[in-house]
Copies of this chain bind each other. A is one copy, B any other.
């Protein structure tokens, strides 16, 4: 089976991009990607959660392929809620491994900001169980709040402890030109931000965002034809699921899908979490950052906040997380997020992460979550 390489990436700055269409966003991201690289894809995969609701448009594979001048190519969309991006990268990995495709363009895109927030909230609820969870009146933030409350109770953790993850993401976003919030925040600001779903405050939550990120994923053959191109090898790619509803979980405070996917991925890769130089984790809510860190084995359950407080998750420390701002500060255009994460792994492993560069990095990991932990992908990159 062919090895799998990311040989290019391009993204647009995440934000409220009023008046900028999905088409324009994808054109801009792809222009950025293809500015540096001359490889024509043979497959286009689009990751998106809910464009039909946000914009009325679906059939996104051909929609973008056609727009990009790639009319004719096979193209389709992958959906796994907020986890769509990481799954699309996994999908591209499978396509290369199959030998049927040699160069897969993955376009992660979401246009969320031009509908009222109440509508966006209702669309995002589709990631959880409409019949059994949402019908009881809870929102998606509410589900995360339930988890946070339980975690705080079980592990004697405070709001202040959890908000440390948001502080890290904001600090790292300052130097990321693609980040939505390029400013540090203080713990006082965070603690004084309004309650979204008790105990989660505004600063525990990632923002509604528009964004588009792209990566080009190729076979060994294509990689060899373009030896001068900056490359990251994807050495492992796994997806796993858990129950979609919180009510069916054995334990609210663990991400079983992340444990499964990361265990398998580390086995495939032949490395451990200790080898990873940058962890891009899915901090859609601060509580998800804590659970994610623990699910990867970096620390025991209930201990993630301590790592944050001790400074061990900073770019210059042992276990850098969300080196380009994470979902909280880079922004969370849901279907695009997983692709932004892999783009960030790529920048780190090819020495293009600028002032956020992790020194001496050999491996990076992207962990992307759909729903409240229901679908989780792990993609591991190696310096090529």
Contact A74 B374 (CB under 8 A): no
Q: Is A130 close to B, CB under 8 A?
A: yes
> What are the residues of chain B within 8 A of A125 when measuring CB–CB?
56
Contact A62 B374 (CB under 8 A): yes
The answer, yes or no, to whether A145 is at the interface (CB within 8 Å) is: no
**Contact A123-B374, Cβ < 8 Å, known A57-B130, A59-B81:** no
Whether A144 is near chain B, meaning CB under 8 Å from some CB there, is no
Bound-state Cα–Cα, A244 to B72, Å: 10
Report the interface size for chain A: residues with CB under 8 A from the other chain: 66
Q: A58–B72 contact, CB under 8 A?
A: no
Rounded to whole angstroms, the CA-CA distance of A101 and B60 in the bound complex is 26
CB proximity of A308 to chain B, nearest CB, Å: 29
Q: Which of B87, B127, B260 contacts A58 (CB 8 A)?
A: B127
A74 lies within 8 A of B241 (CB): yes
A55 at the interface (CB under 8 A from B): yes
Q: A76-B78, A81-B58, A374-B62 are in contact. Are A98 and B241 (CB under 8 A)?
A: no
B99 touches A80 (CB 8 A): no
Docked pose: A1 CA to B77 CA in angstroms: 25
A188 in contact (CB, < 8 A): no
Q: Which of A46-54, A208-216, A290-298, A359-367 forms part of the interface with chain B? A: A46-54
Q: How many Å lie between the Cα of A63 and that of B257 in the bound state?
A: 14
- Residues in chain B near residue A127, CB distance under 8 A: 58-59
When each residue 350-377 of chain A gets 1 if its CB lies under 8 Å from chain B and 0 otherwise, what string results? 0000000000000000000011001100
CA distance A245 to B56 in the complex (A): 15
State in angstroms the CA–CA spacing of A257 and B125 once bound together: 36
CB pair A244 B80 closer than 8 Å: no
Q: Is A73 among interface residues, defined by CB-CB distance under 8 A?
A: yes
- Report A's interface with B, CB cutoff 8 A: 1, 21, 23, 49-50, 52-53, 55-63, 65-66, 71-81, 84, 87, 90-91, 94-95, 97-101, 122-123, 125-131, 134, 238-245, 248, 256-257, 260, 370-371, 374-375
